[in-house]
């Protein structure tokens, strides 16, 4: 049975993909968006305490495209995200906080 319904407080912020770091196959590294300053657009997501989730990707012209959704937490370290896109995607992330970085492994869904 789950004893906590929320992930650690440190996860609630805007995260940006760090394409220069790939320590393991299948693991993506995200860092707080503020650490990157003004750079080329990159994939970001925002995790809010109220269970809102915003994913921002870039299109072919490097313009940001935002998708809104919500998340739920599954112990001990899984975030299940439902995104409102034309495909009504459901994403699962296994995460690990490591210092100022968030290690993400995307779990494939059917």
Does residue 17 fall inside a structural domain? yes
When divided into structural domains, the chain yields a total of 1
Looking at residue 5, its pLDDT comes to 63
Which tokens go with 23? 């320590």
pLDDT for residue 34 is more than 70 = yes
- Residue 61 falls within a domain, yes or no? yes
| Domain presence at residue 3 | no
Residue 4 lies in a domain: no
Q: Does 60 score more than 70 pLDDT?
A: yes
User: Does 68 fall in a domain?
Assistant: yes
What is the structure's pLDDT at 2? 42
Mean pLDDT for 55-60 is 86
Q: E strands within the chain?
A: 14-17, 27-32, 44-47, 52-58, 64-74, 78-83, 90-98, 101-107
Q: Which domain holds residue 13?
A: 9-107
Q: pTM of the prediction? A: 0.77
Residue 1: pLDDT band with limits 50, 70, 90:
very low
51 falls within a domain: yes
Can you give the CATH number for the domain in which 19 is found? Answer: 2.40.128
Q: Is the pLDDT of residue 109 over 70?
A: no
- Tell me what the pLDDT averaged over the chain comes to: 80
- pLDDT tens digits, one per residue of 67-104: 898 888 887 778 888 887 766 667 777 888 888 888 88
């Amino acid at each position: 049975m789950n004893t906590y319904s929320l992930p650690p407080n440190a996860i609630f912020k805007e995260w940006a993909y760090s394409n220069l770091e790939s320590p393991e196959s299948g693991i993506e590294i995200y860092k707080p968006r503020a650490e990157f300053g003004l750079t080329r657009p990159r994939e970001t997501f925002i995790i809010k305490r109220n269970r809102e989730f915003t994913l921002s990707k870039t299109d072919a012209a490097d313009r940001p495209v935002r998708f809104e959704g919500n998340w739920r937490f599954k112990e001990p370290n899984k975030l299940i995200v439902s995104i409102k896109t034309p495909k009504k995607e459901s994403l699962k992330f296994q995460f690990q906080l490591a210092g100022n970085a968030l290690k993400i492994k995307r779990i494939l869904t059917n």
